[in-house]
Amino acid sequence: MIVNEVNEIKLDIEEAWEKKKSWSTEKNIKELVNKVIHLIEKGSVRVANFSSGKWVINEWIKKSIIMFFSVRKMDLMELGPLEFYDKIPVKKNFKEKGIRVVPPAVARYGSYISPGVILMPSYVNIGAYIGKDTMIDTWATVGSCAQVGSRVHISGGVGLGGVLEPIQNYPVIIEDDVFIGSRCILVEGVLIEKGAVLGANVVLTSSTNIFDVTNNNTIQKKGVIPKYSVVIPGNYPKKFPSGVYYVPCALIIGKRKESTDKKTSLNEALRTHGLVV
């Protein structure tokens, strides 16, 4: 879309946001919100963009999604033998979009899924973005507004929390060429940078301690897994009034090689560190 057109829509959404009582009654607001959700559906706009070396949240798009819930009415939907009763329809026309969808995978209208993506039986919520040639494996969930890059593998049972509200908070962001092992949970706007590998059962929130243990001195982080890091779940002792208990954390135990072919470096990282996927 033309930048000026997007800016104009953004200003209209910001103005409509202040008229909360009119969201479901004013026809022009309904049409405006529907237009934005259609743009998300097509991939013309997205909740977060990488710009000038950092991720930037488009709060007005989050506002549009929240308003969309208000302007929509509950509706009965029948898809073959399946029946749904909800405000938001499911995505269609996967063949034309070049997306492989294995039953009973479901993606909500207002999410964007790129050509070459494979959806095993999984769930993709509104506002989510999934890049080219990414695999969403069985029983994985991609939460509202979660941003997933290209050539990413989201393994079975992974939960990406998204983050629609608060408006100003970052969504969960997975950059290109990342591997997320089985049953990982990523919530509260954590960022997994390009090429990282997470072993099975890694749990990350915005407050989870991430310890880089690859050098003599441990480096502590929160909220971000750096590029090409190899990560496993861990725990550390923490003192409470009733005693010392072990609290979950994540351990960066190595680096995946950037210089070699992605598949080769991924397999090497998994073998070298004995990761369960």
Question: Does any domain span residue 83?
Answer: no
Distance between CA atoms of 86 and 77, rounded to whole angstroms?
A: 8
107 Cβ contact list (under 8 Å, min separation 6): 90, 91, 101, 113, 119, 123, 124, 128
SS3 content of the chain, % helix, strand, coil (to 5): 20, 35, 45
Question: Which residue, 29, 52, 75, sits at the end of a domain?
Answer: 75
Cross-strand partners of 147:
129, 173
- The confidence score (pLDDT) of residue 260 equals 73
Question: Does any domain span residue 264?
Answer: yes
Name the band, by pLDDT with cuts 50, 70 and 90, for residue 222: very high
pLDDT in tens, 191-206: 999 999 999 999 999 9
pLDDT in tens, 226-276: 999 999 999 999 999 999 999 999 999 999 987 777 777 777 777 777 776
Question: Does any domain span residue 173?
Answer: yes
* Domain identity same for 267 and 174: yes
Which H or E element spans position 113? strand 112-113
* Domain identity same for 66 and 196: no
pLDDT in tens, 2-59: 678 889 999 999 999 999 888 988 899 999 999 999 999 999 999 999 999 999 999 9
Q: Is the peptide bond before 241 cis (omega within 30 degrees of 0)?
A: no
62 Cβ contact list (under 8 Å, min separation 6): 47, 127, 145, 164, 165, 167
- Of 26-30, 121-125, 132-136, 271-275, which gets the smallest average pLDDT? 271-275
* Domain identity same for 127 and 249: yes
* Domain identity same for 93 and 69: no
pLDDT in tens, 147-170: 999 999 999 999 999 899 889 999
Name the band, by pLDDT with cuts 50, 70 and 90, for residue 98: very high
Q: Are 171 and 206 in contact (CB under 8 A)?
A: no
235 Cβ contact list (under 8 Å, min separation 6): 246, 247, 248, 249
Question: Does any domain span residue 84?
Answer: no
Question: Does any domain span residue 80?
Answer: no
* Domain identity same for 93 and 68: no
**What is the b/e burial string over 246-276, where b = at least 16 CB atoms within 10 angstroms of the residue's CB?**
eeebbbbbbbbbeeeeeeebbeebbeeeebe
With a pLDDT cut of 70, the percent of the chain lying above it is 99
Cross-strand partners of 255:
229
**Could you list the residue range(s) of the whole structural domain that residue 50 is in?**
3-75
- The number of folded domains in the chain is 2
* Domain identity same for 239 and 104: yes
pTM: 0.93
Distance between CA atoms of 45 and 177, rounded to whole angstroms?
A: 22
**Domain CATH number, residue 255:** 2.160.10.10
Question: Which residue, 52, 75, 98, sits at the end of a domain?
Answer: 75
- The confidence score (pLDDT) of residue 259 equals 73
User: Token pair for residue 252?
Assistant: 């960066």
* Domain identity same for 55 and 134: no
* Domain identity same for 71 and 121: no
What average pLDDT score do residues 84-92 get? 93
**Domain CATH number, residue 38:** 1.10.166.10
Distance between CA atoms of 184 and 154, rounded to whole angstroms?
A: 9
- The confidence score (pLDDT) of residue 113 equals 98
* Domain identity same for 49 and 100: no
Distance between CA atoms of 131 and 147, rounded to whole angstroms?
A: 8
Average pLDDT value for the chain: 93
Which residue do the tokens 């999604």 mark? 65
* Domain identity same for 144 and 264: yes
239 Cβ contact list (under 8 Å, min separation 6): none
* Domain identity same for 22 and 111: no
- The confidence score (pLDDT) of residue 1 equals 61
Is 63 a residue whose pLDDT tops 70? yes
* Domain identity same for 39 and 176: no
pLDDT in tens, 204-217: 999 999 999 999 99
Distance between CA atoms of 164 and 125, rounded to whole angstroms?
A: 10
Residue of 111 and 277 predicted with greater confidence: 111
Question: Which residue, 43, 75, 107, sits at the end of a domain?
Answer: 75
Q: Are 54 and 169 in contact (CB under 8 A)?
A: no
Helix axes 3-17, 59-71, angle to 10 degrees: 60
- The confidence score (pLDDT) of residue 263 equals 74
